[in-house]
Amino acid sequence: MTLQIIWFALIAVLFTGFFFLEGFDYGVGVLAPIIGKTDRERRLVINSIGPFWDANEVWFITAGGAMFAAFPNWYATLFSGFYLALFVLLLALIGRGVAFEFRSKVENPLWRSTWDWVIFGGSLLPPLLWGVALANLMRGVPIDSEMNYTGTFFDLLSPYALVGGVSMLLLFVVHGALFLTLRTDGVLQQRARRFAALTGPWTTVVMLLFIVLSYFQTDMFTKVGIDPGPVPVLAGLCLVSVPVFIRSKRDGWAFLMTGLTIVLSTVTVFLDLFPRVMVSSLNPAWSLTIYNAASNPYSLRVMTIIAIGALPFVLAYQGWTYWVFRQRLRAGAHLDY
């Protein structure tokens, strides 16, 4: 039982890290053709995440692998029920990765513009789909007594889930804009700060709407179990404080607040689910939990030993990467075309 809780917490940590890191990553990708008015400016925006984007996605791969190994029934039900959505997600990520590599291979403006919009689409779809997925996990999906998803793709596209998707997309875009204020200077920094200031209030409104809808659509306020307590309140306070820091040009604090909003919101989702991992809308007794979806104890013990040994090296390497590439990208800097 202890190992099951540990692995649930580890998966929560992996997804939290993924959303924090890939959040600004996706946001920058969405903003590249909007904030960048010239080819050089767009190249500069893309270079701001150049050393980080592929390492950030490793968190998602690791979280998926941990889910498969520790909770195979969760993995099977989730990936079969959300198959089409995950297929679209992977297509977007593949196109985005290819665009990063191919954009600069040809100097033709049409070629580069095409790949810029592929980056835009490949960065816009994932947070939208992730928000829809998390909303459905909280609200519940049709799962029968055999742990099989019995709905369709369109059952996932409820108004509540779509509001969740839009709220996550807006939050990631603001997070990305604030990342650009830390990584660039001059006109790009000013545009990014202005965009964050314009988008921030809309993000707050949509997220507040999502919380209100969650009161009616989920049991997150009435579930018997772990009480998230002040965590969602702190998430809201962090988000509300962002415009204050933007107006005072304290970009680092504003970025930290959007990051904390992402972290605390993700933690809230996992606390609300626990000990469930997928809620059945057909019968609460058919919900998947960390107990009926878990691997056998021996497998969990072996994986725990491996994770304890490998995780510190992975974290150290990624921390070193961010430290090495911590400098701002200057407008007159050499760019890799």
User: Could you give the CA distance from residue 312 to residue 116 in angstroms, rounded to a whole number?
Assistant: 35
Instruction: Tell me what pLDDT residue 233 has.
Output: 85
Number of domains in the chain: 1
**Residue 167, domain extent:** 2-80+131-324
Q: Does the residue 172 lie in any domain? A: yes
Q: Give the mean pLDDT per block of 10 residues along the chain (337 residues).
A: 88 93 93 90 90 86 89 93 91 93 89 93 95 92 92 90 95 95 90 93 92 84 63 88 91 94 92 90 92 89 84 83 80 53
Which residue, chain included where needed, has tokens 């925006």?
45
Q: Does the residue 300 lie in any domain? A: yes
Question: Which DSSP helix (H) or strand (E) runs through 288?
Answer: strand 288-289
- For the record, the structure tokens of 254 come out as 């504003």
User: In this structure, how many other beta carbons lie within 10 angstroms of the beta carbon of residue 17?
Assistant: 20
Q: Does the residue 303 lie in any domain? A: yes
Question: Which DSSP helix (H) or strand (E) runs through 276?
Answer: strand 276-278
Tell which residue, 32, 33, 61, 35, has the closest CA to residue 49. Answer: 32
Tell which residue, 208, 321, 270, has the closest CA to residue 8. Answer: 270
User: Could you give the CA distance from residue 218 to residue 212 in angstroms, rounded to a whole number?
Assistant: 10
DSSP result, 145-211: TTS-B-S-GGGG--HHHHHHHHHHHHHHHHHHHHHHHHHB-HHHHHHHHHHHHHHHHHHHHHHHHHH
Indicate the SS3 state at residue 111: helix
Q: Does the residue 9 lie in any domain? A: yes
User: Could you give the CA distance from residue 11 to residue 64 in angstroms, rounded to a whole number?
Assistant: 8
Q: Does the residue 291 lie in any domain? A: yes
Q: Does the residue 119 lie in any domain? A: no
Q: Does the residue 206 lie in any domain? A: yes
The residues, ordered by sequence, that sit 6+ positions from 149 with a Cβ below 8 Å of its Cβ are 77, 80, 81, 82, 141, 142, 143
- Beta strand 288-289 with 276-278: parallel, antiparallel or unpaired? antiparallel
User: Could you give the CA distance from residue 301 to residue 308 in angstroms, rounded to a whole number?
Assistant: 11
Instruction: Tell me what pLDDT residue 320 has.
Output: 86
Q: Does the residue 239 lie in any domain? A: yes
